[in-house]
Amino acid sequence: MGALANQPFVKMNGIGNEIVVVDLRKGAPAIAPEEARAAASPQGAPYDQLMALYPPRTPGTDAYIRIYNNDGSEAGACGNGMRCVASIVSGENGKSALTFETEAGILNCWKAEGGLFTVDMGPPRFKWNEIPLAEEFRDTRAIELQIGPIDKPVLHSPSVVNMGNPHAIFWVDDVNAYDLERFGPLLENHPIFPERANITLAHIVDRTHIVIRTWERGAGLTRACGSAACAAAVAAARFKRTERTVRVTLPGGDLTIEWRERDDHVLMTGPVAFEFNGTFNPNLFEKAPAP
């Protein structure tokens, strides 16, 4: 039957980023792509990302987390989801600081003022083969990529950065002036991105404020993508168009992003919201084979 049948889950969101958390720390197999897709169906608990907690693999960590997109693929990082997980685990064990292991590495989370949580997303990566790109670009602040007519492209010259996931940020004057639902899938799957990419439209309001919209790799148009907010903040600071601490406004709300100078780490601070508890109906997974 797989890993999710009859499993309790918690439905949450991080500024509109729809998150489902399932606790598999008592032992369960990996979640098959078919199971992840079934769990995200209207009969299950529709989500952008599913955060699956497994027993710690590394001493000193609170859990090992695998992150699934609603298309069944796995993500390396999900900042909004990490805040949701931190909120749950902190409520269980009373700790104000937590450490989790993900495919993107070890992530530290802690309580901030006003009921917010901060996630240390680690350092950004800028080299073309770290993002990764299919060909070499020495300067990833702006790469040769466009969509639309050659002489009048609709979008062009994105900044690219890896924040646990590959990101491409297109700088625009109005993030709502483009049909991201149309262009997003084309750019996500462009051959220049061998592992696909998150596609973000970003507008720099001033030196401390950025507005973004994101088409999320494996999840589609989203109200919030924490790693995209981090990527946009870092990319803007690389151009020296913003400070290293900015407010990033997404359709679902605001995040505070700090690109810390002393160690190059990117800190994301924002709220979490509980929605409801549920249990996955085993009938959802009758056609979803175990891995």
Q: Which residues are catalytically annotated?
A: 78, 225
* HEC-encoded secondary structure of the chain: CCCCCCCEEEEEEECCEEEEEEECCCCCCCCCHHHHHHHCCCCCCCCCEEEEEECCCCCCCCEEEEEEECCCCEECCCHHHHHHHHHHHHHHHCCCEEEEEECCEEEEEEECHHHCEEEECCCCECCCCCCCCCCCCCCCCCCCCEECCCCCCCEECCEEEECCCEEEEEECCCCCCCCHHHHHHHHHCCCCCCCCCEEEEEEEEECCEEEEEEEECCCEEECCCHHHHHHHHHHHHHCCCCCCEEEEEECCEEEEEEECCCCCCEEEEECCEEEEEEECCHHHHCCCCCC
Torsion angle in degrees (nearest 10) through CA of 145, 147, 150, 153: -100
In the block, residue with structure tokens 């060909």: 135
List the structure tokens of 249. 């406004």
CB 215 within 8 A of CB 188: yes
Distance CA 89, CA 23 (A): 10
